[in-house]
Structures are given as structure tokens and as C-alpha cells.
């Protein structure tokens, strides 16, 4: 277990440490690639134990969950829930307005305010105050015990890959040219689309389909499988399907989107359902067919780390890679892409990497 005592930088410390000045120092006890839920949880846990910690992030602190995942989605879902409650108020003996007006721009502005408020809690200054050294840039392994961050070489005793995941975009003729939304840009919408097609019947697609339907969009879900929410219990999936239908969401099962073309500012979508070909016209398309581990560009071969483009970093039950110095956590290696799962796996890595524990992810 590391024995260093960290006091953290002063309030006047720069937001990002001088990587070149640190390059010649002793190796980091724990070097973490990715500042999402897993990376942040590991960095805090390791720093609290007195370890010298480097946290590398190429985009923004907080990762997908804060920027493009549960925080923005749950915030707009709250607005959608209020709309549904007002519409159903009469059944509870409460008078409600005959017409409920939705200010979509105000809904999205509130979401951004909530997101920004939480983001301030994950600021670079706060991280550095706990003794975490933050490096902004893209990390690439150049050996079994070192990474290159935009030209600066950082060595480590142990490392954690916590790079998260990215949207899986379906291979559909004309989709890229027509334009589409993913969780990475749907929360930047300023105007409510009059109609929305959600490709994929997963959790994110379902919750956003319901929200947009409640806001007033004509909303459709196209799901390629015969069962809705196939990973869930059938009774639970059926309840969700009934709730979506109650809100006006059209669900098309066993339905393949085969082509998209843009015409007159709208998207003409060709679908095949049980062998029958049809076309629907929508304003926006949201893809939600799943996610892929974000492991590209890390030069994992140089570190002796095995990975698969679809399933991510290959780890054992202790979250170790083939290189015993390097661990992985969160969406980069686990099947279930949830924030709490990512954070729990990161805590296991800290115990196993720094405290020589042998805690299993399956326990």
C-alpha cells in the first residue's frame, strides 16, 4: 500500500499539471485513463489512500454519464413526468389546466443548468485539491509501464483503463447523409422535433421516446427484435410497452430500418416489418441500438493488453488485463454499462491494484 501523504495543491494551483515537469519523476502509483464515473471513483479512492495519482482525460470531466447520459436524460425525464402528472391530475381529484404548454427550450436550458452545476463539483481545481494530478490530452501506451500524453511520457506502477463507451451507429443506407442523433448530441437540441424515430428498443431509447412523446412529438420506436426490451423480465417489459403506448409512442417490433433519405428538410425512412416494406417521414432520427467500448487509439498492443472491438478490454475476475500492471473498469470492459457498476468496479481495482487485495467482480 502506498505510504505517501498527500496534502493537495493550493487554491492557486493551475487547472492542469505541467506534464513535462513531472515526466522525469518517480512512476505514478496509479495512472488512470478516462475521467468518467469509473476513473473519478478510482482517482478519489487512490488519492485518499495516499497514492500518487495521474488522471488523464482528452475531452471533459464526468464522462458520458454526466455529459450525455443519466444526468441530462433524468433531468428532462423529470420535466416529462410533471407533464404526465398534470394531465392525470383530474383522476386524483385535482383540477388542472385544460391545455398544458411545453416550452422545450426552457426544458433543455434547465437540463444544462443542472448539468453545469454538477460539473462544477467535478472541476479540475477540486480534483487537484485532493492530490490528483490531472493531464488533459490523449493517452497512448508506448510500453508495458508507460503512456504518452500528447508528447509527454508518464510512467506508472499500476494503470487503470476507464475510457468508457461510445454509441454504436447502425449501418443503414443514407443515414449518415440524412443526419441523425445519438446520446452525444440529442441533449443539445434547441427546438422540439414534430416527429422522432428512435432506432432501438433499449433503455435510453425508450425513456427518451416517452419524454419526447410527452413533450408533444409524434414518436416511433423501431426495434429489430420480436421482443421488446429483450434483456428484461417479460412482465416488466410489457408494463413499459403499455406505458409507452399510453403516452402515444408507436412501437414497431421485428422491424428493420433499411434506408434513409433526406428530402425537403425531413427524413424519409424505409422500414421492413415482417417482410412488408413501408416508408415513414420524420423530422429527427435517434439511434439507440447499443454502445461499444471506447478502446480505439490506446495502442494497447504496446502494453500487452488484449481487447476486442465489440466487448472491450479482456480482464479476469480481478479486473486485471494480461499485463499484471494494468487493470480496466466500467464500460471499457464490462457488459452492463451503468454508472453504479462502473464506480463499483473502480473501487475493486483500487483495492486490488494498491492494497494487494483479491476482490472479484463476480463476488
More confident residue, 26 or 268: 268
For 164, list phi and psi in degrees, rounded to 5.
75, -150
Is a pLDDT exceeding 60 seen at residue 237? Answer: yes
* pLDDT more than 90, % of the chain: 70
What's the pLDDT at 51? 96
The Cα 3–Cα 50 span in angstroms is: 6
Task: Answer whether 210's CB lies under 8 Å from 247's CB.
Answer: yes
> How many Cα neighbours within 13 Å face the side chain of 256?
10
287 - beta bridge partners?
A: 199
Least confident span in 72-81, 201-210, 233-242: 201-210
Domain ranges of the chain: 19-62+122-166+292-354, 168-290
pLDDT of residue 129: 86
pLDDT score at 22: 55
Contact 333, 312 (CB under 8 A): yes
- Indicate whether 4 pLDDT > 50: no
**Residue 357 buriedness (CB in 10 A; 0-12 / 13-18 / 19+):** middle
- pLDDT for the residue 19: 52
What pLDDT sits at residue 272?
96
Q: Is the fold of 19-62+122-166+292-354 the same as that of 168-290?
A: yes
Kindly tell me if the per-residue pLDDT of 15 is higher than 50.
no
pLDDT band at residue 23 using 50, 70 and 90 as cut-offs: low
Over residues 171-224, the pLDDT tens digits come to: 999 999 999 999 889 999 999 999 999 999 778 889 999 999 999 999 999 999
pLDDT at 13 over 70: no
| Sign of the torsion angle spanned by Cα atoms 116, 202, 263, 282 | negative
Task: Report the pLDDT averaged over residues 283-298.
Answer: 94
All three cell numbers of 18, joined, read 505541467
CA distance linking residue 331 with residue 349, whole number of Å: 14
Per-residue pLDDT at 297: 94
- Model confidence pLDDT, tens digit, residues 210-227: 999 999 999 999 999 888
The pLDDT of 80-100, averaged and rounded, is 85
pLDDT of residue 2: 44
Is 168-290 assigned to CATH 3.50.50.60?
A: yes
pLDDT at 112 over 60: yes
Level-2 CATH architecture, domain 19-62+122-166+292-354: 3-Layer(bba) Sandwich (3.50)
pLDDT 10s digits, 305-356:
999 999 999 999 999 999 999 999 999 999 888 889 999 999 999 999 999 8
* Better pLDDT: 339 or 280: 280
Question: What's the chain's average pLDDT?
Answer: 89
Lowest mean pLDDT: which of 53-67, 167-181, 264-278, 344-358?
A: 53-67
pLDDT in the model for residue 82: 94
> What's the mean pLDDT in 22-48?
89
Tell me the three-class secondary structure of the chain, residue by residue.
Answer: CCCCCCCCCCCCCCCCCCHHHHCCCCCEEEEEECCCHHHHHHHHHHHHCCCCEEEEECCCCCHHHHHCCHHHHHHHHHHHHHHHHHHCHHHHCCCCCCCCCCCHHHHHHHHHHHHHHHHHHCCHHHHHHCCEEEEECCEEEEECCEEEECCEEEEEEEEEECCCEEECCCCCECHHHHCCECCCCHHHCCCCCCEEEEECCCHHHHHHHHHHHHHCCEEEEECCCCCCCCCCCHHHHHHHHHHHHHCCCEEECCEEEEEEEEECCEEEEEEEECCEEEEEEECEEEECCCEEECCCCCCHHHHCCCEECCCEECCCCCCECCCCCEEECHHHCCCCCCHHHHHHHHHHHHHHHHCCCCCCCCC
144-157 confidence digits (pLDDT tens): 999 999 999 999 99
Give this prediction's pTM: 0.86
The Cα 353–Cα 197 span in angstroms is: 45
Per DSSP bridges, beta strands 139-143 and 132-136 are unpaired
Q: Who wins on pLDDT, 344 or 288?
A: 344
Cα separation of 295 and 328, whole Å? 11
pLDDT at 33: 98
Please count the CA atoms within 13 angstroms of the CA of 261 that sit on its side-chain side. Answer: 3
Provide mean pLDDT across the span 63-71: 79
Amino acid at each position: 500500500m502506498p505510504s505517501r501523504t498527500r496534502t493537495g495543491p493550493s487554491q492557486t494551483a493551475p487547472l492542469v499539471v505541467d506534464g513535462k515537469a513531472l515526466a522525469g519523476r518517480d512512476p505514478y502509483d496509479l495512472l488512470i485513463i478516462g475521467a468518467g464515473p469509473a476513473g473519478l471513483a478510482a482517482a478519489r479512492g487512490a488519492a485518499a489512500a495516499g497514492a500518487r495519482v495521474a488522471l488523464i482525460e482528452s475531452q471533459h470531466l464526468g464522462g458520458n454519464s454526466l455529459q450525455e447520459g443519466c444526468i441530462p436524460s433524468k433531468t428532462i425525464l423529470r420535466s416529462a413526468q410533471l407533464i404526465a402528472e398534470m394531465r392525470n391530475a383530474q383522476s386524483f381529484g385535482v383540477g388542472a389546466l385544460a391545455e398544458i404548454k411545453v416550452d422545450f427550450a426552457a426544458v433543455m436550458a434547465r437540463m444544462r443548468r443542472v448539468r453545469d452545476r454538477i460539473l462544477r463539483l467535478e472541476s479540475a481545481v477540486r480534483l487537484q485539491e485532493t492530490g490528483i494530478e490531472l493531464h488533459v490530452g490523449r493517452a497512448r501506451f508506448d510500453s508495458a509501464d508507460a503512456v504518452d500524453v500528447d508528447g509527454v511520457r508518464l510512467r506508472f506502477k499500476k494503470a487503470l483503463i476507464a475510457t468508457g463507451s461510445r454509441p454504436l451507429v447502425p449501418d443503414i443506407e443514407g443515414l449518415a447523409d440524412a443526419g441523425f442523433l445519438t446520446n452525444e448530441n440529442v441533449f443539445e437540441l434547441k427546438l422540439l422535433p414534430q416527429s422522432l424515430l428512435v432506432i432501438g428498443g433499449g433503455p435510453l431509447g425508450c425513456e427518451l421516446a416517452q419524454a419526447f412523446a410527452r413533450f408533444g412529438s409524434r414518436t416511433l420506436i423501431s426495434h429489430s427484435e420480436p421482443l421488446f426490451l429483450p434483456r428484461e423480465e417479460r412482465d416488466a417489459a410489457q408494463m413499459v410497452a403499455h406505458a409507452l403506448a399510453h403516452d402515444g409512442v408507436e412501437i414497431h417490433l421485428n422491424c428493420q430500418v433499411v434506408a434513409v433519405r433526406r428530402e425537403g428538410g425531413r427524413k424519409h425512412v424505409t422500414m421492413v416489418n415482417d417482410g412488408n416494406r413501408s416508408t415513414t417521414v420524420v423530422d429527427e432520427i435517434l439511434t439507440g441500438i447499443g454502445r461499444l467500448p471506447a478502446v480505439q487509439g490506446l495502442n494497447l498492443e504496446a502494453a500487452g493488453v488484449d481487447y476486442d472491438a465489440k466487448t472491450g478490454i479482456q480482464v479476469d475476475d480481478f479486473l486485471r488485463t494480461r499485463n499484471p500492471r494494468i487493470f480496466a473498469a466500467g464500460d471499457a470492459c464490462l457488459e452492463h454499462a451503468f454508472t453504479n457498476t462502473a464506480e463499483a468496479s473502480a473501487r475493486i481495482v483500487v483495492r486490488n491494484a494498491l492494497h494487494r487485495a483479491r476482490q472479484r467482480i463476480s463476488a
